[in-house]
Amino acid sequence: MQTKVFDMSASDDAHQDRQRGGEIVYDDAAGRASLGNDPATQAATGDDPTTTKHKHEAGEPTQEMAGDAPQAAGGGVGCHAGADELRRAAEAAGQSELLQRLATDYPTGPHDQPQSMCPAFGSLRVGLRMRRTATVLCGSACCVYGLTFTSHFYGAKRSVGYVPFDSETLVTGKLFEDVREAVHKLADPAKYDAVVITNLCVPTASGVPLRLLPKSIDGVRIIGIDVPGFGVPTHAEAKDVLAGAMLKYARGEAEQGPVQAPREGPSSKPTVTLLGEMFPADPVGIGMLLEPLGLAAGPVVPTREWRELYAALDCAAVAAIHPYYTASIREFQQAGRRVVGSAPVGFEGTAAWLDAIGEACDVSADKVAAAKNGVLPSIRKALAEAPVDGTITVSGYEGSELLVARLLIESGARVPYVGTAAPKTEWSNADLEWLEAQGTTVQFRAALEQDKAAVDAIKPDLAIGTTPVVQHAKQQSIPALYFTNLISARPLMGAAGAGSLAQVVNAALASRTRFDRMNAFFAGVGDGDTAGIWDRMPEPRATKRAAAPRRAASKTARVENSIADDGGDA
């Protein structure tokens, strides 16, 4: 039995949307699929959980495999070669189109690349969070070690498959065979909906052609993505690489016929898909804001399950809460969905967002006004009850930096600088304009040096930032909060978000005297000559410098003596 849901695009272009494949038809039978989370990949490989067995060890390749293995044209350039060389190798390997698309989706500048962890961590994390999804990395062992270490450090309870290579398997195309074999071994429909295989820097530069992998094996989707550090600037954008690839695949499936319904069944109301990871309470809060408009919050993309991708596509509009999901937005637009930037943060942010959502979903002005009248007073009250007084710099790589700055300003703080590792996009314009109107300087693709220079120049009462920015501020007795752990771990949206930041921010602002005391206590310790652990008191530098000319003089004397001994004459 199939459930045909109404086309949830409430736009004027609904007819065009249908023509473009915007309609989603759910299959009720498929909706009863198991919830089983995957066990470790070792069950599929029968092997070490962190590695997919190398083909050389697994047995001889079949004739068919050996015969059609595409050779890597990049010539096996190593990751130590640097980004420029890898880029050149990738072009030589026929990857120009991929590089061009990455450059368009994730533009760099004003400098090359913000300091960030390996970008592939973003896509790896998205895959590891999805139910019934296997993730496999193809890259240098050191890269894979770092990525798996970091993913488990952040609490991943899933195995990461790995297809290793050496220069021979890379240049002969044998690596592609190994990848294909690993994918075939893993693709068990009882365990997985999808297998995600990610080319890291070297296989991307060498042109290992993941596009030639089968699109599905026994019903298990095979998603191959290239996430090179020389093409994807930040791990935040790498999340979009995988989310976009999955949405593209799911859109293709929905165009072919019925697809799995959401686990709780299709929504009875038109939904708004939420783009970008957020605190778990925020989708609930957004749902409450949408309710008076006759709308509901849809899935959050990146999704936690394959079937949610269909429900995400089956929306009235998309809220680009994180504005840098360029590839994902492209898929939504291809499906005929409207996209709305910014988010319901603070009083003004919520009012503007409800207007924009109402317009995108063709909700009457009266209804939007009633919704605003219902919610805005409580947000104003929450902001007034939790004021923030201080000068704060904000920097981070999450993509929500502008939203946090808006909320802080509406809470009463002065925010003269916002640095974000994310690029400027069409969907960040509303927040950029609002912040600039408040006198805030916004630096997209901010480098660590720019963030630190802002702290030095502004001398804020509080610096919110990445780990090195926090360290830089604390060394100057400036209270600082780590963005990812302390700011992103709080609701930002609606009334719940209005007062939530104030608690942690005010506690940090009040700690200034504690930092002064700590700095006074540790003054002169752990810096310069006094850094490290020594078995005796280090000699002051001045003594060493004074000793240096004596050593130099004695060395000169030794050289002169040796020349004299040899009978030399300069």
Residues near ligand SF4, by CB under 6 A = 79, 118, 120, 139-140, 143, 146, 200-201, 229
Helices 401-410 & 494-509 angle (0-180, nearest 10): 80
Closest distance to ligand SF4 from the beta carbon of 487 (Å): 26
Closest distance to ligand SF4 from the beta carbon of 379 (Å): 41
Hey, what long-range contacts does 548-551 have (CB within 8 A, 24 or more apart)? none
Q: Which residues pair with 27 in a beta bridge?
A: 2, 260
Nearer to ligand SF4, 122 or 270 (CB): 122
Closest distance to ligand SF4 from the beta carbon of 142 (Å): 7
Closest distance to ligand SF4 from the beta carbon of 82 (Å): 10
Closest distance to ligand SF4 from the beta carbon of 332 (Å): 28
**CA–CA dist 84, 79 (Å, integer):** 11
Closest distance to ligand SF4 from the beta carbon of 160 (Å): 13
Half-sphere exposure of residue 288: CA atoms within 13 angstroms, side-chain side: 15
Is residue 495 within 8 Å of 345, Cβ to Cβ? Answer: no
Nearer to ligand SF4, 21 or 146 (CB): 146
- Structural tokens at position 417: 């600088």
Nearer to ligand SF4, 82 or 468 (CB): 82
List the 480-482 sheet strands across, edge first.
Answer: 441-444, 414-420, 391-396, 462-465, 480-482
Placement of tokens 């070297």 in the chain:
202
Closest distance to ligand SF4 from the beta carbon of 138 (Å): 10
Closest distance to ligand SF4 from the beta carbon of 162 (Å): 13
Three-state secondary structure of 453-464: HHHHHHCCCEEE
- Structural tokens at position 516: 């002064």
CA angle 94, 98, 104 (to 5 degrees): 140
Is residue 316 within 8 Å of 295, Cβ to Cβ? Answer: yes
Nearer to ligand SF4, 201 or 293 (CB): 201
- Structural tokens at position 23: 């309609």
Closest distance to ligand SF4 from the beta carbon of 242 (Å): 15
Going through 366-406 in order, the beta strands assigned E by DSSP cover: 391-396
What phi and psi values does residue 138 have, to the nearest 5 degrees? -125, 110
Instruction: Identify which of 223, 214, 248, 193 has the alpha carbon closest to the alpha carbon of residue 30.
Output: 193
Nearer to ligand SF4, 139 or 349 (CB): 139
Nearer to ligand SF4, 200 or 311 (CB): 200
**CA–CA dist 530, 403 (Å, integer):** 42
Nearer to ligand SF4, 74 or 229 (CB): 229
Closest distance to ligand SF4 from the beta carbon of 125 (Å): 14
**CA–CA dist 349, 354 (Å, integer):** 9
Q: Which residue is nearest to ligand SF4 (CB)?
A: 229
Q: Where are the alpha helices (DSSP H) in 187-296?
A: 201-205, 235-256, 281-290
Instruction: Identify which of 349, 340, 289 has the alpha carbon closest to the alpha carbon of residue 318.
Output: 340
Helices 326-334 & 235-256 angle (0-180, nearest 10): 20
Nearer to ligand SF4, 229 or 423 (CB): 229
CA angle 306, 310, 314 (to 5 degrees): 155
Closest distance to ligand SF4 from the beta carbon of 367 (Å): 48
> Burial level of 117, CB count in 10 A (0-12/13-18/19+)?
middle
Nearer to ligand SF4, 118 or 210 (CB): 118
Instruction: Identify which of 198, 202, 272, 281 has the alpha carbon closest to the alpha carbon of residue 235.
Output: 198
Nearer to ligand SF4, 118 or 316 (CB): 118
Nearer to ligand SF4, 52 or 198 (CB): 198
